[in-house]
Amino acid sequence: MSFEVYLSRGRCLLWAGPQSYESLLTGLAEEISRELAELEQADWRKLGPDAGNQVVGITQIRLLNELYYCLGQLRARGVHLAVKEAIQDLRDIWNRLMEATSRPEMFKFAEEDGPPVQ
């Protein structure tokens, strides 16, 4: 089975072959990393003291939104993936990409250590 999966801003990723899942998540992470590189060109000090945290939050929201967008397209094509597992796998791929690009630790997704404390 081979078909195209689109990110919300039009980039096309191919779902084909045994490495489709990892290729999709890697392509998604790389695309958001490119967007982050554009944001990193700005002087965040001019944006205020919380600008870094805001960029981190926006970046993580973009990652998850794109993942859900892709998972919806896959589901429409009959490919049903576990959402929680996909989030964890995307987190791992993203964190490795952040290490490989020498980005600050703040850009990494934190690992969940069990149920949230109430």
Structure pTM? 0.87
State the amino acid at position 113 in one-letter form.
D
Q: How many residues does the chain have?
A: 118
Six-digit token pair at 42? 């700005």
Residue 114 resides in a domain: no
Cα–Cα distance, 111 to 118 (Å, whole number): 18
Residue 34 resides in a domain: yes
- Cβ atoms of 66 and 7 closer than 8 Å: yes
- Cβ atoms of 71 and 10 closer than 8 Å: no
Residue 98 resides in a domain: yes
Residue 21 resides in a domain: yes
Residue 113 resides in a domain: no
Task: State the pLDDT at residue 48.
Answer: 81
Task: State the pLDDT at residue 117.
Answer: 42
- Split into its structural domains, the chain has a count of 1
Residue 81 resides in a domain: yes
Residue 46 resides in a domain: no
Using the predicted structure, report yes or no on whether residue 111 has a pLDDT greater than 70: yes
Give the torsion sign (CA, 70, 72, 78, 84): positive
Residue 112 resides in a domain: no
Q: Which residues pair with 2 in a beta bridge?
A: 16
The per-residue pLDDT for range 36-73, each reduced to its tens digit, is 998 888 877 777 888 888 889 999 999 999 999 999 99
Task: State the pLDDT at residue 116.
Answer: 47
**Whole domain around residue 22: which residue ranges?**
2-41+52-104
